[in-house]
């Protein structure tokens, strides 16, 4: 049985409807307000002892007018290597992107998937870079890695710190 996903806003308030319905309402509202949107989806994680916390974010950027985001926090006690954790982050981002991409296409909104993976080979997360890039781009999504992956590196990172 699939675990119920509990999306929330940055202020902590829970989203009471399915995330697709919430995003559709956002797209309609923002279009009516005359805003041009871009969406960035990313996930970050933090291992804290036996628990790993994940946070997936959907960041809406109003071009020239700020932005806002939705957050899906998750926890697991499954022990994993750094590479496995990086690829799990990417999988979570791709899952959400795939779930919502039809809406973004319908409303003409550009979308990127951000991976919290360092492009510098001196960092352990770099071991997952090629696989992550191939997975994201193979699904047809635009890909950004550090230092350009602010949705995962900055936005989601603030949730799991």
Domain ranges of the chain: 8-160
Please write the tens of the pLDDT for every residue from 103-113. 999 999 999 99
Please write the tens of the pLDDT for every residue from 48-81. 889 999 999 999 999 989 999 999 999 999 889 8
**Looking at the domain that runs over 8-160, which CATH code has it been given?**
3.30.420
Tokens of 4: 């119920």
């Amino acid at each position: 049985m699939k675990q119920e996903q509990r999306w929330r806003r940055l202020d902590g308030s829970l989203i009471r409807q399915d995330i697709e319905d919430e995003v559709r309402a956002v797209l309609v509202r923002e279009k009516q307000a005359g805003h041009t949107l871009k969406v960035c989806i990313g996930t970050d994680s933090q291992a804290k002892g036996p628990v790993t916390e994940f946070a997936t974010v959907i960041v809406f950027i109003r071009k020239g007018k700020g932005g806002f985001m939705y957050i899906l926090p998750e926890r697991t006690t499954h022990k994993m290597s750094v590479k496995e954790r990086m690829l799990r982050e990417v999988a979570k981002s791709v899952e959400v992107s795939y779930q919502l991409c039809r809406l973004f296409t319908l409303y003409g909104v550009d979308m990127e998937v951000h991976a919290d993976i360092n492009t510098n080979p001196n960092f352990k997360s770099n071991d997952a870079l090629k696989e992550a890039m191939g997975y994201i781009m193979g699904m047809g999504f635009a890909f950004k890695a550090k230092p350009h992956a602010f949705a995962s590196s900055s936005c989601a990172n603030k949730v799991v710190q």
